[in-house]
Structures are given as C-alpha cells and as structure tokens.
Amino acid sequence: MALKATIYKAQIQFSDLDHNIYSEHSATIARHPSETDERLLIRLLAFALHATVDRDEGPLEFAKDMWEPDEPSLWQKDPTGRVAHWIDVGQPDEKRLLRTSARVGRITVYSFSSSTPIWWRELEPRLTRLENLTVWQIPATQSAALAALAQRTMKLQVTIQDGAIWVDDGDKSVEVTPLQLWGSKPKV
C-alpha cells in the first residue's frame, strides 16, 4: 500500500526590514512520505522569500516536485500559463536546469545539504552561462535548525534585516544566512 502525503499548514508573517516589505501568507503544504522536515522547511522558507515578489506575474504556488519529475518545488505562472519563476529545492541535475532554463523566465535553486559545495563545483562551469539562474546555499547547520521548527500547524515570523533571515515560531528562533553561489541580486 502506498503511503500518502501528510498535510502541513503554515501562517507566515513576513517582514523585510531592508526593503520595507510586509505581508502575511497562509500555506498548505503536502509533504511527500520521503521528504524530510529539513526539506519541507526550506520549501516553506523559499515560499516566504518569494511570495511577495512580482505578484503581477501570478501567485507563487507549491508544485509537485516529489511526485512529478517535470515540476519544481514552487512555481509562479503568468496569466498565460507560462512559468515565470521556477524554484527548485535540493540539488537538481545539470540537464534539468539547462532544459528548464530555456522555457522559463527565471530559475532559483536553494541547496541545503553539506554536499552543496561539491555539487556546485561540479556544475558551475557548465551552468554559469545561464543568465536566468540564481543558486543559493543554505548552510547545513542552519537548515537542520530550521527542521526543528516543523509542526503540522505552524505560525512563523520570517524577518529579513541586514541581509540575514530570522525564522521564529514563538519559542525558537533560527538565523539563516544564505550564501549566493551564482546569479544576479535577488529582488527581495
């Protein structure tokens, strides 16, 4: 018998003090049986960081990357159905990124494993020609600390100040300092 997804719900208060952007979001996330708390929270963090950017391109949505190999973790489609922003979590392979780059407006990757430097060193020479690609590394110790915030129902405060990101659930607070490995400066 196949295992079913577990549903998580999150209320997110987002404050970007560096750019004076404030918003609230509700998210319902289907967690694949093989997905870890760490990966789930990185997807949720990516959602919080991008949900208020370019709203005219359409809403940011969770996709079915764990179920459908041709979908990202999150995506934003314009009114015509074209994917304006493709967001992958993890370490996608070179072919996936090259193929996707040709058909979407922009791609953002959030890698969080301790093996990220090895993965990126291997792909960097072939992917840095992609002008619509941005790659971020979330330090493994920080992504592991984020995993401790996972609950079936979450109320999170995500705050950006002086380039650092703080994620707080009322009891615990985790500082996340993403390292940009490649790409142009983010809009957030």
Domains in the chain, please, with CATH?
Answer: 26-182 (3.10.640.10)
Which backbone phi and psi does 184 adopt, to 5 degrees? Answer: -80, 165
pLDDT surpasses 80 at 67: yes
pLDDT, position 188:
45
pLDDT surpasses 70 at 1: no
pLDDT, position 26:
96
pLDDT, position 55:
65
Q: Which of 52-61, 64-73, 151-160, 178-187 has the largest mean confidence? A: 151-160
Residue 112 three-state SS: coil
Average pLDDT, the chain: 94
Q: What is the pLDDT of residues 12-63, one digit of tens each?
A: 999 999 999 999 999 999 999 999 999 999 999 999 999 987 667 789 999 9
Q: Given pLDDT bands bounded at 50, 70 and 90, which one contains residue 123?
A: very high
pLDDT, position 184:
77
- Tell me what percent of the residues of the chain surpass a pLDDT of 90: 87
Three-state secondary structure string covering 115-163? CHHHHHHHHHHHHCCCCCEEEEECCHHHHHHHHCCCCCEEEEEEEEECC
Q: What is the pLDDT of residues 151-170, one digit of tens each?
A: 999 999 999 999 899 999 99
Q: Tell me which amino acid residue 86 is.
A: W
pLDDT, position 171:
97
